[in-house]
């Protein structure tokens, strides 16, 4: 009897245990299936809107000539004044000269100009440009340039330092802080390691001019990478040519677009006496043949160059290989007279610019055409004084774009820029304009006469001063 009772008790305990285990399994399964309570804490943050600062643009100032004084062979002296025009939306433009202490004629000819305007709602509403005609025994021609923002990095794709060519690196610091500049140099034989290219001091509110030949002599295809710390600088490269005793032109080249795998150069205009000159390039030594200069700074690249005629849309293509660090001038053959867009597709980031010329025997001149960054929706610009200025627009997109060209005075005009194509329109010298509806397009202003040639790029403004979200600990 006792054994039966013990067995019954044990059985009851086993059954009870199994039931408890089953309940536990069900409870765990339910806990997994049902959402667990969670606790979240939003990080403390403060949104700060920086106070808008005034807009600024820097004009490089008058053209310069080396060794006018035999006792100062490396001194760059001006030989006249540049004509500067500027405009800003709904506000006055203030013009102040920066100091150029190394120019012995600064007091007479002036120096670089700092343009300022109060902050406005639209980015980049301030614009300016300058131009100058040169007619001396050593420098002759016409040069126009945009007044640009000071930057901490710029690529100057222009110039030469072989016999008869002079290139000056012009660095203007509009800030209140001294700039420490380093130069990275490239040529047809690769990177150029030269003493004195680092820790170059550009004092606050001053301009410093450096002869490129002092770092890289006898280079036919130089490219200069300017990097600034502390204060920012506006960088230009003045390129002059003299053939024997005859001046062969002058240009004041601005920065090209930063290295990229897709590069666009708008408004490359070929005059009647330089287009389609055939295969004989002996005249390359006279800078009179159109070329495109390319550099892949970091890695070997496979490149396709498409040259599209503005008027007909006809495309000429070139395929070539670039060796890392070696700049290359590629002749532009078989092209017709008129405006062209050069589009470059590359397997690695590259920089580029194009050179064109007019070759009248008694008055040769040339122009450098910088690669441009895509514009924002609106783009103001001002046309400096010069011969027959033309606005060139390039549309790399897949749909046609209608652009409104709004002058400071007079009636606005509409221009259709076809997809994967280009268009141009005449503009008036010493007039301000705003381009509306140009997001993603590329643009430049070019000048051309039988004896003169020049060009400057329309670049978008730098990053906007957007509100900053700061997370606190």
Q: What is the pLDDT of residues 137-190, one digit of tens each?
A: 999 999 999 999 999 999 999 999 999 999 999 999 999 999 999 999 999 999
Q: How far apart are CA 394 and CA 340, in angstroms?
A: 9
- Closest Cα to residue 251, out of 367, 358, 383, 147? 367
- Residue 284: which pLDDT band, with cuts at 50, 70 and 90? very low
Mean per-residue pLDDT, 371-396: 97
If we measure between CA atoms, which residue out of 397, 396, 370 comes closest to residue 457? 370
Read off the pLDDT band of 207 (50, 70, 90). Answer: very high
Length of the chain: 473
- The CA distance from 127 to 56, in Å, is 9
Mean pLDDT of 255-269: 98
C-alpha atoms less than 13 angstroms from C-alpha of 471 in its C-beta half-sphere: 2
For the ranges 49-63, 353-367, 432-446, the maximum mean pLDDT occurs at: 432-446
Return the number of other C-beta atoms located less than 10 Å from residue 21's C-beta. Answer: 10
Q: What is the average pLDDT score of the chain?
A: 87
Whether the full predicted model's pTM is greater than 0.95, yes or no, is: no
Element (H or E) spanning 306, and its range?
Answer: strand 301-309
Bridge partners of residue 130, in order along the sequence? 84, 145
- Lowest mean pLDDT segment, chosen from 214-228, 295-309, 329-343: 329-343
Is 280 or 163 the better-scoring residue by pLDDT?
163
454, burial (CB in 10 Å: exposed 0-12, middle 13-18, buried 19+): buried
> In this structure, are residues 456 and 392 in contact, taking their beta carbons and an 8 Å threshold?
no
Beta strands in 60-198 (DSSP E): 64-66, 76-78, 83-88, 94-97, 113-117, 126-135, 140-146, 153-157, 165-172, 179-187, 190-192
Which run of H or of E encompasses 4? helix 2-33
Backbone phi, psi, residue 285, to 5°: -65, -15
């Amino acid at each position: 009897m006792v054994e039966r009772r013990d067995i019954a008790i044990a059985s009851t305990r086993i059954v009870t245990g199994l039931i408890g285990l089953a309940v536990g399994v069900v409870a765990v399964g339910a806990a997994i299936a049902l959402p667990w309570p969670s606790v979240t804490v939003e990080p403390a943050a403060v949104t700060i809107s920086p106070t808008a600062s005034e807009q600024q643009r820097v004009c490089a100032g008058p053209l310069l000539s080396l060794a006018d004084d035999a006792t100062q062979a490396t001194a760059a002296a001006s030989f006249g004044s540049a004509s500067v025009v500027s405009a800003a939306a709904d506000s006055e433009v203030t013009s102040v000269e920066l100091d150029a202490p190394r120019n012995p004629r600064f007091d007479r000819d002036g120096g670089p100009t700092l343009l300022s305007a109060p902050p406005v709602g639209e980015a980049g509403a301030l614009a300016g440009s300058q131009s100058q005609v040169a007619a001396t025994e050593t420098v002759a021609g016409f040069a126009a340039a945009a007044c640009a923002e000071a930057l901490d990095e710029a690529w100057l794709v222009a110039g030469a330092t072989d016999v008869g060519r002079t290139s000056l690196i012009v660095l203007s610091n509009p800030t209140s802080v001294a700039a420490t500049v380093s130069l990275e140099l490239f040529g047809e034989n690769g990177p150029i390691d030269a003493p004195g290219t680092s820790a170059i001091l550009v004092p606050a509110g001053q301009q410093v001019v450096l002869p490129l030949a002092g770092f890289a002599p006898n280079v036919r295809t130089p490219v200069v990478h300017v990097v600034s710390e502390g204060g920012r600088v506006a960088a230009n490269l003045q390129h002059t040519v003299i053939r024997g005793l005859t001046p062969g032109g002058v240009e004041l080249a601005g920065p090209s677009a930063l290295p990229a795998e897709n590069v666009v150069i708008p408004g490359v205009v070929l005059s009647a006496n330089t287009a389609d000159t055939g295969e004989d390039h002996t005249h390359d030594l006279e800078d009179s043949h159109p070329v495109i200069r390319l550099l892949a700074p970091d890695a070997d690249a496979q490149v396709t160059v498409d040259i599209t005629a503005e008027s007909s849309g006809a495309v000429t293509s070139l395929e070539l290989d670039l060796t890392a660090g070696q700049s290359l001038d590629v002749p532009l053959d078989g092209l017709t007279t008129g405006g062209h867009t050069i589009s470059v597709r590359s397997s690695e980031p590259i920089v580029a610019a194009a050179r064109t010329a007019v070759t009248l025997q008694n008055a040769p001149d040339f122009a450098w055409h910088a690669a441009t960054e895509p514009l924002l929706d609106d783009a103001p610009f001002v046309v400096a004084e010069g011969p027959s200025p033309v606005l060139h627009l390039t549309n790399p997109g897949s749909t046609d774009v209608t652009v409104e060209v709004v002058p400071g005075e007079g009636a606005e005009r509409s221009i259709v820029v076809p997809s994967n194509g280009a268009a141009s329109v005449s503009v008036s010298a010493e007039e301000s304009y705003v381009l509306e509806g140009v997001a993603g397009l590329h643009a430049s202003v070019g000048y051309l006469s039988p004896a003169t040639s020049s060009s400057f790029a329309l670049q978008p403004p730098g990053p906007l001063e957007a509100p900053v979200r700061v997370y606190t600990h």
